[in-house]
Copies of this chain bind each other. A is one copy, B any other.
Amino acid sequence: MKTLRGLKLSRLRPWQVPQLTPIEQQFVDRHDVRTDLAFEAHQVASQAGQHALPGVTTQVEDLGFAQVTRIHIETDLGAAAMGKAKGRYVTIQAPGLKRRDRTLEQQVSEVLASEIEQYLKRWQIGPDQPVLVVGLGNWNATPDNVGPLTVSKLLVTRHLYEYQALNEEILGKMRPLAALSPGVLGLTGVETAEIVQGVVERVRPALVICVDALASMSVERIGTTIQVADAGISPGSGVGNTRRGLNRETLGVPVLAMGVPTVIYATTIVSEAVDQLLTSIAAPIYPLDAESRRNLIREVLGESMGTLVVTPKEVDVMVESISDILADGLNEALHPGISAQEAAAIR
């Protein structure tokens, strides 16, 4: 993305602030927080589990080294309450990943592989059907590089099948796998969804898996939480512009979205600070209406508040490690004859 003498290009980049769907916007308006994690949205909407949400079922599994939460949003009511589209969201939380423990990383990638396999089974996608993995995000900005980096670590095989270049024994261990990192709108001038739609029409995979960097509400979940969901994703989607979503409707095949939070919106951090402070100083006496609250946040963050993110200084090490876990999980789940150990070796 190059710049031009005298052009005020920064004002011209509304698309760099990911737009929200109506359902997401309502959630933000109501709760004043913004998260890509269904787990967090559920925490907020249910007031940390105090209230049941109609049309939403949750199930928690504790593995010791990690906690797996499965949230199923079954009705429109549930979707509205959560600010998320209907679908199945799996969250793998492993706080220990902060310690860069290689053994734990392998355990988590195996859990991830197993969850991906559940989705494949549910969609009845056989071991020889082709899959396309799409790495979303901007490879030039470290916190946004999770998708492209993961894609670069996959065992891409689709061309081997096209060219009949392998013997049957080896072919039986693998699935035709294609992978693409289309780049962000500012780099290509083309909507990500348009590029993916075009490629899907040609490649005709049985499944599209999107890998992306996410935003969380909580520092603790940065780099330690993986979300897998079948609800599709909407990069930059806005009112009346549904053609841009990456989901079953737009692509014609099931879409699995995977991601790990690498940033928190600065507005979320400030908003949380305000909450904590109000609580600690007996805020009821000085209630803050939504409008005043937003003005306060704007004063702290300035006009650019929407595009500011909070991220760890060592984000490069974190993103490298995350993409190892995601790639191992994908290689193991997608190539049926490849063991967890082999998955780690081929990365």
Contact = CB atoms under 8 A, between A and B. Distances in A.
Interface of A: 1-17, 98-103, 138, 140-144, 152-160, 162-163, 165-166, 170, 174, 176-183, 185-191, 194-195, 197-203, 218-220, 263, 266, 269-270, 272-274, 276-278, 280-282, 286, 288, 292, 296-297, 299-302, 304-305, 307-317, 321, 331, 338, 342, 344-347
Contacts of A202: 190, 194-195, 197-198
A312 B308 contact: yes
A159, A170, A181, A282: which has the most chain B beta carbons within 10 Å? A159
Contact of A274 (B7, B174, B185, B277): B277
Nearest to A154: B2
A128 B276 CA distance: 49
B156 A177 contact: no
A5 B219 contact: no
Given A9-B100, A273-B274, 6 more contacts: A8-B100, A11-B99, A194-B199, A201-B201, A276-B296, A277-B288
Given A7-B170, A304-B219, A281 B288 contact: yes
26 contacts: A2-B346, A3-B101, A4-B102, A5-B101, A8-B101, A12-B160, A12-B163, A13-B165, A16-B314, A138-B316, A140-B142, A140-B316, A141-B314, A142-B143, A159-B186, A176-B189, A190-B202, A194-B202, A219-B304, A266-B269, A269-B300, A269-B301, A270-B270, A308-B313, A309-B310, A309-B311
